[in-house]
Amino acid sequence: MNLNTRVTELLGIQYPIVQGGMMWVGTAELASAVSNAGGLGTITALTQPTPEALYKEIARCRNLTDRPFAVNLTLLPAVKPPPYAEYRQAIIESGVKIVETAGNKPHDHIQHFKQHGIKIIHKCTAVRHALSAQKIGADIISIDGFECAGHPGEDDIPGLILIPATADQIDIPIIASGGFADGRGLVAALALGAEGINMGTRFCATQEAPVHERIKQFYLDNDERDTNLLLRPFRNTSRVAKNSISDRVLEISQKPDLKFEDIQPYVSGLKGKLALETGDIDAGLITAGQVQGLIHDIPTCKELIERIIQEANQIIDSRLTKFIRANE
């Protein structure tokens, strides 16, 4: 069973299912497992402590799969920005063919990658940003709705509106992101004008995700209400799982004279890493989306991807065509 779209053609993959970049989770293990299962796996550049470590991680991924995979470069405001130019160079020199860019001011990065023939999936959360990425040469737009884990932007437009609104204005292929976990979501995304789906949280609860078993179980136990939106006052909104740390950050954020220093100790990325590694749910922030409400098991990436494709085919073939036949 297949679902061929411009996304599968452009990326040279079997199924239109992408694993988005994920801090601390997007390692060679997960990326190669997704790619070997016919989707597009993604290594997250900034999870590697140095550009040299990224070279090695890309080489490790090549040893684990001969299928296409991507590298994510996330461009977010930081107290001390990482050496982006060096990470970019590591990606180019390693011969990576696909890059997922995400975040603010991607122009120079995209143009540099394009000069080296790299295909760009630009992930963004607004139609205007999709338009500008298309203009500067992005090959695919991954449009991330308000439901998504991580950074949903500041406009709060859910996928049901954002995906078709983007499809109305964009000519290059679109990948729908945020809230996807199963075949129903994939068919919905295709119906809304996308040609594939991008998933984050769902891939965290797979056998191959480098995440502690207790955190995988936490994603399963949570439902669609168990997220908090943090950093809103700083216009850097972040959707994370509800836990004692994210609750505390929300509480502190009520202060009228809030300063970043008030919450800084709680939002440290390294504490989030500790939670994922040790399974201590309250060690730090755990990035998660509302799609937690649709996650009920911990399959391998292969089982997950094949199930999604099979379910999508069944929905298209029987459920949807039945409605047409019923009207004949």
Ligand X SMILES: Cc1cc2nc3c(=O)[nH]c(=O)nc-3n(C[C@H](O)[C@H](O)[C@H](O)COP(=O)(O)O)c2cc1C
Which of positions 216-235 make contact with ligand X (CB under 6 A)? none
According to the binding rule CB under 6 A, does residue 246 interact with ligand X? no
Check residue 25 for interaction with ligand X (CB under 6 A): yes
149 binds ligand X (CB under 6 A): yes
Question: Which of 148, 192, 205, 301 contacts ligand X by CB under 6 A?
Answer: 148
Shortest-Cβ-distance residue relative to ligand X: 200
Per CB under 6 A, the segment of 32-40, 172-180, 229-237, 293-301 that binds ligand X is 172-180
Among 17, 22, 33, 186, binds ligand X (CB under 6 A): 22
- Sorted by sequence, the CB contacts under 8 Å of residue 188 that are 6+ apart come out as none
141 belongs to the binding site for ligand X (CB under 6 A): no
Smallest gap, in angstroms, from Cβ of residue 202 to ligand X? 6
CA neighbor of 242 nearest in space, from 208, 281, 210: 281
Of positions 88, 109, 122, 123, contacts ligand X by CB under 6 A: 123
Question: Parallel, antiparallel, or unpaired: how do β-strands 17-19 and 197-199 relate?
Answer: parallel
**Separation CA 323–CA 147 (nearest Å):** 29
Rounded CA gap, 155 and 215, in Å?
Answer: 29
For 138, counting Cβ atoms within 10 Å of its Cβ (0-12 exposed, 13-18 middle, 19+ buried), the class is: buried
Q: Where do the H-state alpha helices sit in the chain? A: 6-11, 28-36, 51-64, 84-93, 107-115, 127-135, 159-169, 183-191, 201-204, 213-221, 244-252, 260-263, 269-278, 301-314, 321-326
Of 3, 11, 16, 21, the one binding ligand X by CB under 6 A: 21
State yes or no: residue 177 binds ligand X (CB under 6 A). Answer: yes
Q: Which of residues 38-77 bind ligand X (CB under 6 A)?
A: 44, 72, 74
Site residues for ligand X per CB under 6 A: 20-23, 25, 44, 72, 74, 102, 123, 144, 147-150, 177-180, 198-202, 204, 287-289, 291
